[in-house]
Amino acid sequence: MSNSIIFATRNQKKVEELNAILAGSGLNIISMEAAGIYTDVKEDGHSFEENAIKKASTISRLTGATVLADDSGLEVDYLNGAPGIHSARFGGRDTSYIVKNKLILDCLKDAEGSERKARFVCVIALCFPNGETEVRRGVMEGYIADRQMGKNGFGYDPIFFLPEYGQTSAQLPPEVKNQISHRAQALNEMKEFLLTIYNC
């Protein structure tokens, strides 16, 4: 069995992050483009779990391969959990994350202290060609900062403040973020299962 697993994403930064988390495991995550897949899967589920499973199962059926997929997003308490599963489309799908982050900050301009609580959520689904699916979830708790800070990471990282580090997720060194992130938590939950399946 090949130790390369297709990750149902077009986001190369996510692929790099997952490979960094799995470094030394003998597993290699490749993007859909690297696998020659150019199909878009509509994310129309009502939860992170539904979206992750749909992406993984759709690409697995198309390729006959074992496929990983994730759905992740930012939940802000002051916004009743928004943007949530709509995080990538918040403010418009083609809107840059600099603009998306500014929109979040504008929405929270009157929020203080615990009102700014937020969390990153990641659900990872692993789908086999026979339709069997494994799902793992990771959560990273924090607060929305008062401005964008940091150049590392991507997405909403520049406004996601971690009090225990005194920095935003985008200010953390990648090796630290890759140990504590919501994606790392979900993938580490999946990792032992993967290592067993792939005999690494």
- Give the active site residues: 71
In single-letter form, the type of residue at position 191 comes to K
Strand partners, 7: 31, 68
